[in-house]
Amino acid sequence: MSYSSDMSGEERDYEGDLNSLPDDSNVVQRYLLQLRQRAQKDIIDPQDSLNWSDSFLIKFLRARDFDVELSLKLLINYQRWRRECPEISANLHPSSVLGLLQNNYHGVLRDRDHSGSRVLIYRIAYEVFRVSLITSELIVQETETQRNGLKAIFDMQGWCFAHALQINPSLAKRISSDSFPLKVRGIHLINEPIFFRPVFAMIRPFLPDKIKQREYGGSGPSMEEVCQEWTSHILQSEERLTQLSIYPAGDEVIPDLEPEPDPDSQSAYSS
C-alpha cells in the first residue's frame, strides 16, 4: 500500500488493514479528505448539489483498498454511468420493479460467505439492471460489504435468445466496467444453457481477471424464501431509494436514513 507524501509519520507508518479501521479513525479521515479535495477539484458539476459526505466517499475508498487515484477514477465512472443511463438509475422506487420482486426474481442471502462477502442470487431470465442497481445501492451502505465485497450467483434456467439480444458489447462494458463502489469477488453460474457461452464470451473481456471464474451447483434455502426476504427489505428501504433517484450523481445529500430499529419489524439484513 502506498501512502501520500503529505501524511503524518504516524499515518505513513500504519501497516495494518485500512479496510478494518473505523470511519472516524485519523488515518481514514486523512484519506477521505484527500479524495474529497480531488473530487471537488476534478469532477464538481455546478448542476449538482453535492456534499461529498464521509459515508458516500468511504464506499469508493474501500472498494479500491484506499488507493486515492483509483477511488477517484471509480467515483468519476460511477457518476458518469448514473448520468448516462437514466433509464436505469433515475427510478429506483421499489414499485418500478415490484412485479419482478414478487415473482422471486432476485434475492440476497441473509448470511455472508466464509470470507465475509455478501451473496446475491439472480434469476437471469428476468430483467436485470434496475433491480441490480437497487440492491447494490442498499448493500453498499453496509460496512462489512464495503470491506469484503460480494459474490453473485446467476441462475440461468429459463434464459433464452431474447435475453441475449438485450446485451451488446457497449452495454456490457458500461454495466460491467469500473463504475460502482463494490468489490465483486466472484461470479458463479448455475443451470447454464449452451447458447449462453458466446454471450458470456462477449462480457468476459470487461471483467477483472480475479472474477473470471465459474462454479456450478450449490445448496441452501429455497430461492423463493431468499427472494421474499430480500423483497421485504427493499420495500422497507423506499425512502432511501427515493433520495438516490432524485440526485443523479448518487451522493447522499441528506443525512443517512437509518431509523431507530423496531424490535418487532427489524430487517434480517441489518448490519
The 10s digit of each residue's pLDDT in 88-139 is 777 777 777 777 777 777 788 888 888 899 888 877 654 566 777 888 888 9
Residue 265: band (very low, low, confident or very high) from pLDDT cuts 50, 70, 90? very low
Same domain, 143 and 181: yes
- The parent domain of residue 33 ranges over 15-86
The 10s digit of each residue's pLDDT in 151-189 is 887 777 766 555 554 554 455 555 555 778 888 887 777
What pLDDT is stored for residue 64 in this prediction?
A: 94
From the list 241, 264, 220, the residue with the least C-alpha distance to 109 is 220
Same domain, 173 and 234: yes
Same domain, 78 and 98: no
Same domain, 141 and 36: no
Same domain, 73 and 198: no
The 10s digit of each residue's pLDDT in 204-233 is 666 656 555 544 344 456 667 777 888 888
> Grid cell 449538482 — which residue?
48
The reply to whether 227 falls in a domain is: yes
Same domain, 235 and 141: yes
What pLDDT is stored for residue 4 in this prediction?
A: 44
Alpha helices per DSSP H over the chain:
9-12, 26-42, 54-63, 68-84, 86-89, 98-102, 129-139, 143-148, 161-164, 169-176, 197-203, 223-236, 238-246
CATH number of the domain that residue 213 is part of: 3.40.525.10
The reply to whether 263 falls in a domain is: no
Domain C-terminal end among 65, 86, 107: 86
Same domain, 239 and 149: yes
Residue 10: band (very low, low, confident or very high) from pLDDT cuts 50, 70, 90? very low
Domain C-terminal end among 86, 108, 135: 86
How does DSSP assign 178-224, residue by residue? S-SSS-EEEEEEES--GGGHHHHHHHGGGS-GGG---------S-HH
The region of weakest confidence among 30-34, 47-51, 140-144 is 47-51
* Rounded distance between C-alpha atoms, residue 74 and residue 77, angstroms: 5
**Residue 35 reports pLDDT greater than 90:** yes
DSSP β-ladder status, 150-155 and 106-108: unpaired
- How many domains does the structure of the chain reveal? 2
Domain C-terminal end among 58, 86, 114: 86
pTM given for the model: 0.62
The reply to whether 78 falls in a domain is: yes
